[in-house]
Amino acid sequence: MKILLGVTGSIAAYKAYDACRMMIKDGHEVIVVLTKGALRFIKKETFTYLGAKRVFSHEDDFTEQLFDGPVLHISLAKWCEKIIILPLSANTLAKIAHGQADDLLTSTLLSSSETPVLLYPAMNTQMLLHKRTAQNISLLKEFPYYHFHSTDEGLLACGDTGEGKLPALEKIKTLYEWLPACSLEESQVKKILITTGATISPIDPVRYITNGSTGITGMYMARKFLQQGHHVDLFCGIHSTKEIDYLKEFKHVRIFRCSTTKEMAKKIQQVRENCDLFIAAAAVSDFEFAYRPSKIKKEALRLNEMNLSYEMAEDILLSFLKVKKEHQLSIGMAAESKDHGTHYFIEKWMRKKTDLLIGNYAFHQYGDENEVPLSMGFGQESNGYYFIEEGQVLQNNISLSKNQLANEIYQWFLTKKAVYDSTI
């Protein structure tokens, strides 16, 4: 990807060094444009040492430092695929919002008609919360290709504590890597409902039963559909990976963290009617215990007097299948122990005839370490998957990263929707 990195006059400007290095390490071409204010904090040469393709300052427009054309700001606007301003000062924000073009960076922005622009503000809390700043942000949000990343809260350079800090690099990367390159036509936008992670079954105030699912799989799926411009409702277990919250920076996502299966089922029931695709990737608890409001004492545990009573929890996927509409597609996921054969996946499909069933083995860290692949299963980045349609195994134990799995699911969805759309 060709990235134009704009750096403005904020005390956080030094963090642009790390951001630039991260982008280049990830294989992107980076051209850096510094404002006059940025040069009070950092140096052009450092970006060159870090591998930037070119580095320009605010005065380099219409000079001998040309780049693929006679007018530098026009050439840069044509060259880049995304513009990232990091950090964004209150002053530059105001100039962009009111269409000023008094230096190379603002002139380039005014020359970019629909190039995605990612803005990472960093300033004092009072400046960030000032009415004028809020108005400037509102003005830019009217343009669909401008995207603001929220600031972090903490100790600021001035000694104050509050909002206004530049977010961590991992958060920065989530938005610029996965932001859609363009907006879909309204008729092309689909509503995707995804469950992921583990729910819990509380026993008493300090104990519950759960499993090792982290929600990584559903996170990748949500990110893939968001990247393509679709709307996503993501329902995740309360203890799912924190990276799920990074997705809040996308415009068309709603994230619901749920404790119990009952809570997740109730929330899904409120939105499932309008979805185009339901992906049941969560490892939900199958049982609900009769909750005890007081902690069970050790004496009862030793005497085996717990007498835990339980009932089966609602089957969220099955509930959806009972009311699904003709245009709605469904994907279920089934986790089995590695000593169980594929016939267990087939049996599950017979009970829940989803449009696609994806089976995998539930490796975890509690078994024999010599038998468990370190890179597969709960909390890991890959697994072996079985793809089942109409009761037939289409792909047998194919090894995929969870990101690759998300790509496979997206391509399957495109094919299925194309078939459906051709019949209406």
Active site residues: 158
* Amino acid at the residue 369: E
Angle CA(360)–CA(361)–CA(363) in degrees, nearest 5?
A: 135
φ and ψ at 2, to 5 degrees?
A: -95, 110
| Dist. CA 258–CA 276, nearest whole Å | 22
Contact 62, 71 (CB under 8 A): yes
Residues listed for the chain = 424
Alpha carbon distance 196, 194 (integer Å): 7
Neighbouring residues of 261: CB distance < 8 A, sequence distance ≥ 6: 199, 201, 284, 285, 286, 288, 313, 314, 316
Q: Which residues contact 375 (CB under 8 A, 6 or more apart)?
A: 381, 382
Phi first, then psi: what are they for 156, rounded to 5°? Answer: -95, 165
Q: How far apart are CA 356 and CA 159, in angstroms?
A: 55
- Secondary structure element (H or E) that encloses residue 125, with its range: helix 125-129
Q: Which residues contact 295 (CB under 8 A, 6 or more apart)?
A: 204, 205, 206, 207
Write down the H helix ranges in 179-296.
216-227, 261-269
Of 161, 133, 240, nearest to 196 by C-alpha is 240
Distance from C-alpha of 14 to C-alpha of 366, rounded to nearest angstrom: 44
Give the Cα separation of 8 and 134 in Å (integer): 19
